[in-house]
């Protein structure tokens, strides 16, 4: 009996030690910080900010095992820092704009599409109901952006003679651009849908918007019904590192979940991100409901033929690229990296 009691005592001691060790390990694991992912977006009210913010608000980053930080920057600063490798992850890489950087030798690649191309012409004159009526008018936009590059192509493809339109380039966004329009210093603003909706809402009936994208025009040119536009870009040396590959796959999964939330609950999504987006809730909700197909999170490699059409034909012909991308540049631009991890 004494031996049996001694055996039970030893077993109990061993179990206690084992539980203590497991608890210590579990505590250490729980206390281990999550890997951090820093992404650059355009300063609000740019649409590039609202998916990252929604991921944060819904806790999708922590759900997928990382911590997201978001840094808004003016478009020219964001592009400069991305092209030079200072910011390795850009949530605002417009194909038309960054293709120029690729031709200049910048070492980056694009992983997935985020937004399809859409842009709005916000107008003060109620008599202007067709974009061809912009001839003879002054239109303000940020000509450094990829949105302008694609907008220019669509305007020309739809019959607008841009030689008869005065384009005023300005990086001023939000209230600054709206003030120019309301004071009559310009006739129209060419902006993204979020900025357009905000301007129309703030105009309180004095402004209206016309879409630049035309599906019929694009289908005739491409055979597809959407234009991949704003993408996730990363520095090539950064994505070559295994920890970053695992991290970016988690971010991709969070992107997909956030996009699904937007489609299913546009009103709630608008409420969650309106403050950081600097857009009134009703205006942002209107964008999310009006442009239901604006967000399309898919590996860009699946659409390399469309990117080829843009970068090797349409944009060079429209003067938005100094020359077509070579096949090697195109292959480098559109990453073959498996963001979904299906082949792992």
- The answer, yes or no, to whether residue 144 has pLDDT greater than 80, is no
Residue 297, domain member (yes or no): yes
**What are the pLDDT digits (tens) for 40-92?**
999 987 889 989 999 999 999 999 999 999 999 998 899 999 999 999 999 99
Q: Are 83 and 98 in contact (CB under 8 A)?
A: yes
As to burial, measured by CB atoms within 10 angstroms (0-12 exposed, 13-18 middle, 19+ buried), residue 298 is: middle
34 vs 44: CA distance, rounded Å = 27
Q: Can you point out the beta strands (E) in 236-333?
A: 295-299
Look-up: residue for tokens 């399309």?
Answer: 296
Consecutive H or E run containing 333: helix 327-333
pTM: 0.80
67 vs 222: CA distance, rounded Å = 39
**What are the pLDDT digits (tens) for 250-300?**
999 999 999 999 999 999 999 999 999 988 898 889 889 888 888 999 999
Q: How confident is the model at residue 320 (pLDDT cuts 50, 70, 90)?
A: confident
pLDDT at 280: 86
| Peptide linkage before 259 cis (omega within 30 of 0) | no
Residues 133 and 211 in one domain: yes
Q: How many domains does the chain divide into? A: 2
The candidate with the shortest Cα–Cα distance to 248, out of 59, 32, 37, is 37
The candidate with the shortest Cα–Cα distance to 239, out of 76, 90, 50, is 90
Residues 108 and 127 in one domain: no
Residues 202 and 177 in one domain: yes
The parent domain of residue 236 ranges over: 36-116+226-333
321 Cβ contact partners less than 8 Å away, ≥ 6 residues apart: 96, 99, 100, 103, 311, 315
Three-class secondary structure of residue 323 per DSSP = coil
Residue 18, domain member (yes or no): no
Residues 108 and 41 in one domain: yes
Q: How confident is the model at residue 11 (pLDDT cuts 50, 70, 90)?
A: very low
Residue 192, domain member (yes or no): yes
Q: Quick one: the chain helix, strand, coil %, rounded to 5?
A: 55, 20, 30
**What Å distances lie between residue 134 and 43, 57, 88, 118, 228, CA to CA?**
28, 40, 39, 18, 26
- At 260, which CATH number? 3.40.190.10
Residue 340, domain member (yes or no): no
**What are the pLDDT digits (tens) for 213-261?**
999 999 998 888 889 999 999 999 999 999 999 999 999 999 999 999 9
């Amino acid at each position: 009996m004494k031996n049996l009691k001694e055996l039970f005592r030893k077993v109990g001691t061993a179990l206690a030690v084992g539980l203590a060790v497991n608890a210590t390990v579990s505590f250490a694991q729980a206390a281990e910080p999550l890997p951090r992912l820093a992404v650059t977006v355009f300063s609000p009210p740019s649409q590039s900010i609202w998916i990252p913010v929604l991921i944060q608000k819904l806790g999708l980053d922590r759900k997928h095992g990382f911590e997201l930080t978001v840094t808004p920057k003016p478009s020219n600063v964001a592009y400069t820092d991305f092209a030079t490798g200072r910011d390795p992850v850009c949530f605002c890489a417009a194909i038309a704009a960054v293709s120029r950087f690729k031709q200049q030798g910048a070492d980056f690649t694009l992983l997935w599409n985020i937004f399809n191309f859409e842009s709005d012409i916000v107008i003060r004159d109620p008599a202007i109901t067709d974009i061809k009526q912009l001839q003879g008018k002054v239109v303000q936009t940020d000509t450094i952006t990829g949105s302008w590059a694609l907008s220019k192509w669509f305007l020309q493809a739809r019959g607008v003679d841009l030689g008869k339109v005065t384009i005023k380039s300005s990086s001023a966004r939000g209230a600054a651009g709206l003030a120019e329009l309301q004071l009559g210093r310009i006739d129209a603003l060419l902006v993204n849908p979020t900025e357009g909706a905000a301007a129309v809402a703030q105009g309180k009936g004095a402004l209206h918007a016309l879409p630049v994208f035309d599906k019929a025009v694009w289908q005739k040119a491409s055979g597809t019904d959407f234009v991949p536009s704003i993408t996730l870009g990363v520095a090539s040396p950064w994505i070559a590192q295994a920890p970053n590959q695992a991290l970016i796959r988690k971010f991709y999964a969070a992107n997909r979940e956030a996009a699904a939330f937007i489609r299913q609950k546009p009103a709630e999504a608008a409420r969650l991100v309106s403050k950081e987006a600097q857009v009134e809730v009703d205006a942002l909700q209107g964008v999310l409901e009006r442009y239901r197909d604006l967000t399309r999170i898919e590996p860009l490699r699946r659409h390399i033929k469309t990117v080829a059409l843009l970068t090797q034909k349409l944009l060079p012909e429209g003067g938005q690229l100094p020359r077509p991308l070579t096949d090697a540049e195109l292959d480098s631009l559109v990453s073959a990296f498996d963001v979904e991890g299906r082949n792992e």
